[in-house]
Amino acid sequence: MPNYKLTLSYEGTRYRGWQKQGNTGNTIQEKLESTLSRLLSEPVEAAGCGRTDAGVHARMQVCSFRTVKPLDCGETLQRLRQQLPEDIGALSLEEAEPRFHARLSCTGKTYCYRIRIDDTPDVFSRRWVLPCPGALDLSAMKKAAALLCGKHDYSAFCSLRHRKKSAVRTVSAIRLEETEGELRIFFTADGFLYNMVRILTGTLLEVGLGLREAESVPAILDSCDRMQAGPTAPARGLTLWEVRYGK
Amino acid sequence: MPNYKLTLSYEGTRYRGWQKQGNTGNTIQEKLESTLSRLLSEPVEAAGCGRTDAGVHARMQVCSFRTVKPLDCGETLQRLRQQLPEDIGALSLEEAEPRFHARLSCTGKTYCYRIRIDDTPDVFSRRWVLPCPGALDLSAMKKAAALLCGKHDYSAFCSLRHRKKSAVRTVSAIRLEETEGELRIFFTADGFLYNMVRILTGTLLEVGLGLREAESVPAILDSCDRMQAGPTAPARGLTLWEVRYGK
């Protein structure tokens, strides 16, 4: 069966996240699978690279799927663009190697958490940028961000009920960038635990607001205790920014 | 009575335009006036600079209003930001000269019409950028744009039922700019007729799509006949970009 790689972007506001949940019909995976199945007249199952939470967006999400009949990628892409809802965009479609799998073949992901830091509101970005939570001490946040990187057991930064077998991940970078009145925090890792980026962000925001010292970070990691970390930042500020394959 | 100048931006998607209409409660002027009246405990009437249509956005809209009691502008601005809906942003508030009036004192306005020209959809800008209508011949559009500028009777570019007494306006510039997969058309004039920017855009799009020659523009202007111009482009692509006061 031919194997395909589809790159999407979506505004997650009105969805219950990426992953299908029974037949609620309101997840991105379900919308995509039902559209592809109708379009190709055969049942299609699509594996996504990142399982974004309810309300989380994707600038770049990759999925893979197999079909019985080979596709004309250009034509299928055009028809997908016409038939997907307006808040899901099909960026590209190409045939993939037989063993390619969107999640298992992925070698790294970057999420971006966006926070308004200018007092002046921006109505146009409000669905994907958190409103200004108060004055932020960026240099303290950068110090904490550096301490959060590395290869660690990130259990303290995972919502308990969804803990995976191993909570060891390698976070290669947490980069803070100020641009056009907003702070963007880019998190790059080999993989992320459930809610991990949002809890890392909640913890960084506590540091930025002066509610916690940057130096408290190593003790949070060591504790492996979710209660020691900051709150889970709201979904709307989070975007799956980039996914990588190969070295 | 002290006089104030308030600068706003808004995403117009869910509103029936700027101007109040009886008591439908769903125009930007009504939302603003009811919020200001509640906040200041006195009835407030706000004059807007541009009467944007239903679904049209504003990056910068200016309004003026008088109050009986003098205001603390900084405090009132903060409270307005808390109490206005999320899709209306208060950018600044200052005391104005006694004779300042947002519309009558205005010396120039710029609207921007945004059109996606890249095949790849952008889900994040879809509420204020028209989807790609097809391949556009930008050089023909620029030629037509130049012919549409000047001091003319723009009756052919005004929806008939709302024609004003004089339809003479001075359009000082129509500038086309390509940026990040979109075409932005900036229209600058001393004032605009009802639907004028959208009909100018519809006409330019016909030229861009090869449905009409750029050279047909002078005859449209001369005809003063709405039927000779192109269709009214959809509201969602239009944004009131900038308003100017003074020389």
Does one domain contain both B116 and B75?
no
Q: What is the pLDDT of residue B23?
A: 67
Q: What ipTM was estimated for this complex?
A: 0.91
What are the pLDDT digits (tens) for B138-180?
999 999 999 999 999 999 999 866 555 789 999 999 999 999 8
Which among B57, B87, B91 is the nearest to A120, CB-wise? B91
Q: Say if residue A70 is in the same domain as residue A128.
A: no
Interface test with B, best of A123, A132, A236 (most B CBs within 10 A): A123
Residue A103 lies in a domain: no
Instruction: Examine residue B9 and state whether it is found in any structural domain, yes or no.
Output: yes
In a domain, B102, yes or no: no
State whether A32 and A88 are in the same domain.
yes
pLDDT (mean) for A10-15: 97
Q: Are A64 and A4 in contact (CB under 8 A)?
A: yes
Residues A90 and A137 in one domain: no
pLDDT value for A21: 83
Higher pLDDT, A180 or A187: A187
In this structure, the strands spanning B168-179 and B182-189 are antiparallel
Judgement on whether residues A37 and A137 belong to the same structural domain of the protein? no
The answer on pLDDT for A163 being more than 80 is: no
Please report whether residue B101 resides in a domain. Answer: no
Calculate what percentage of chain B has a pLDDT beyond 70. 97
In this predicted structure, what is the pLDDT of residue B133?
86
Residues A196 and A52 sit within 8 Å (Cβ to Cβ): no
For residue A124, which residues of chain B lie inside 8 Å, CB to CB?
A: 9, 11, 57, 59, 128
In tens, the pLDDT along B66-114 reads 999 999 999 999 999 999 999 999 999 999 999 999 999 999 999 999 9
B31 and B61 together in one domain: yes
Rounded Cα gap, residues B58 and B62, in angstroms: 10
B122 lies in the same domain as B37: no
Instruction: Specify whether B170 is located in the same domain as B90.
Output: no
pLDDT per residue as tens digits for the range B204-246: 999 999 999 999 999 999 999 999 999 999 999 999 999 999 8
The answer to whether residue B103 is domain-embedded is no
What's the pLDDT band for B132 if we cut at 50, 70, 90? confident
* B127 → chain A, closest CA residue: A124
Which of B28, B60, B95 represents a domain boundary (last residue)?
A: B95
- The tens digit of pLDDT for each residue in A36-80 reads 999 999 999 999 999 999 999 999 999 999 999 999 999 999 999
pLDDT at site B164: 57
Residue A50 lies in a domain: yes
Q: Per the CB < 8 Å rule, is B123 touching A90?
A: no
Same domain, A79 and A170: no
DSSP A84: S
Write down the mean pLDDT value for chain B.
94
Task: Kindly state whether B182 is in contact with chain A, defined as any CB-CB distance less than 8 angstroms.
Answer: no
For the segment A223-247, what is each residue's pLDDT rounded down to a tens digit?
A: 999 999 999 999 999 999 999 998 7
Question: What is the amino acid identity at position A211?
Answer: L
pLDDT for position B22 = 75
pLDDT of residue A57: 98
Q: Which residues contact A198 (CB under 8 A, 6 or more apart)?
A: A53, A113, A232, A233, A234, A235, A238
Domain's final residue, options A71, A95, A119 = A95
Residue A100 lies in a domain: no
- What six digits make up the tokens of A118? 């200018």
Interatomic CA distance for residues B134 and B132, integer angstroms: 6
Last residue of a domain, one of A39, A73, A95: A95
Mind listing the pLDDT tens digit for each residue in A184-231?
999 999 999 999 999 999 999 999 999 999 999 999 999 999 999 999
A10 touching chain B per CB within 8 A:
yes
Instruction: Note the pLDDT tens digit of each residue in A13-42.
Output: 999 999 998 767 799 999 999 999 999 999
Q: For the domain that residue A119 is a member of, what is the CATH number?
A: 3.30.70.660
The CA-atom distances, in angstroms, between A131 and each of A14, A144, A177, B14, B93 are 19, 22, 16, 21, 20
Q: Report the CATH number at residue A12.
A: 3.30.70.580
What token pair was written down for B123?
């889900």
Nearest CA of chain A to the CA of B120: how many Å?
6
* Annotation marks residue B53 as catalytic: yes
Contacts of A116 in chain B (CB under 8 A): none
Structurally, how many domains does chain B consist of? 2
Q: What are phi and psi of B56, to 5 degrees?
A: -85, 145
Contact B73, B95 (CB under 8 A): yes
Q: What three-state secondary structure class fits B101?
A: coil
Same domain for A31 and A133, yes or no, is no
Residues in chain B closer than 8 A to A77 (CB atoms): none
How many CB pairs below 8 A link A and B? 48
pLDDT the model gives residue B138: 96
Q: Which long-range contacts (CB under 8 A, 24 or more apart) does A93-96 make?
A: A93/A4, A93/A5, A93/A6, A93/A7, A94/A4, A94/A5, A95/A2, A95/A3, A95/A4, A95/A5, A95/A71, A96/A3, A96/A4, A96/A5, A96/A64
pTM of the entire predicted model: 0.92
User: Residue B34 and residue B84: Cα distance in Å, rounded?
Assistant: 10
Q: What's the confidence (pLDDT) of residue A29?
A: 96
CB contact under 8 A, B124 and A88: no
B126 touches chain A (CB under 8 A): yes
Question: Around Cβ B233, how many Cβ atoms within 10 Å?
Answer: 23
Mean pLDDT, chain A, integer: 94
Let me know whether A129 and A50 are in one domain: no
Q: Which residues of B touch A239 (CB under 8 A)?
A: none
Give pLDDT tens digits for B8-45: 999 999 999 999 987 677 999 999 999 999 999 999 99
Residue A186: half-sphere exposure toward Cβ, Cα within 13 Å: 15
Say if B232 falls within a structural domain. yes
B128 in reach of chain A (CB within 8 A): yes
**Is there a single domain that holds both residue B114 and residue B232?**
yes
Mean pLDDT of A108-112: 97
Closest Cβ opposite residue B10 in set A90, A92, A123: A123
10 Å CB burial of residue A227 (0-12, 13-18, 19+) is: exposed
Q: What pLDDT does residue B162 have?
A: 52
Residues of A in contact with B128 (CB under 8 A): 124
Domain boundaries, position B168:
108-245
